[in-house]
Structure 1
């Protein structure tokens, strides 16, 4: 008997807990340059807010979710327990690093050039840690 064919799946959204919808939308769109994909009022102070990098097409988006109780509020800015929890890929590392630096993004280290590409760790408005990552194969494909 043949092995079953894998089901095609994808991750549509990943939740980022936020203190305030509007400040998070502003930061992700103005500072990181993400697109606001959706902002739907669900009533009772809840909204369905999704943002994603330009060029993501039908890839993964961030679901900005308002922290609604004390346990969730404690996780704002610490969703990955102090580790890098989010990875922003770029085909032009130097350009995007310079743009983020000019917009006041807080970097926790200097850029590094590793065997897989260039990387630098930065924090979002709440302190969640991100990698800006320029993989060598992406740079090769773009050139």
Structure 2
């Protein structure tokens, strides 16, 4: 079996990123381990797959070039897609938690969707796929 396990997301600060992803988006903290170089191995993931789904590796920017990419990892395009089985529930919970949605929910042939920003400005789709 092959799968994409982790995608790196460059962040300014480990703890603020953990707070946003776990509190505002409802992800779970999978791992937070110190590394010998002073950095941390921080993984967050949606759902309760017990490590079998995809996750985000939150990597603190190490230099000016990386800091320049924080919040713009995909050049202003939606780069992350959070699937849900209950759009209304998650949209309401995330909105109440302060997540900034850039549009009203819309219905497309592929599902119900709305674009939101993470705490750094990266664009995400909250998406409940059709059937």
Which one has the bigger helix percentage?
1
For 1:113, the equivalent position in structure 2 comes to 107
Over the residues paired in the alignment, what is the CA RMSD in angstroms? 0.9
For 1:101, the equivalent position in structure 2 comes to 95
Determine helix, strand or coil for the equivalent of 2:91.
helix
Equivalences for residues 1-143 of structure 1 within 5 A: 8-57=1-50, 58-137=52-131
Unaligned runs of 5+ in 1: 1-7, 138-143
Corresponding pairs, count:
130
Displacement over 4 Å in runs of 4+: none
TM-score w.r.t. length of structure 1: 0.88
Structure label with greater radius of gyration:
1
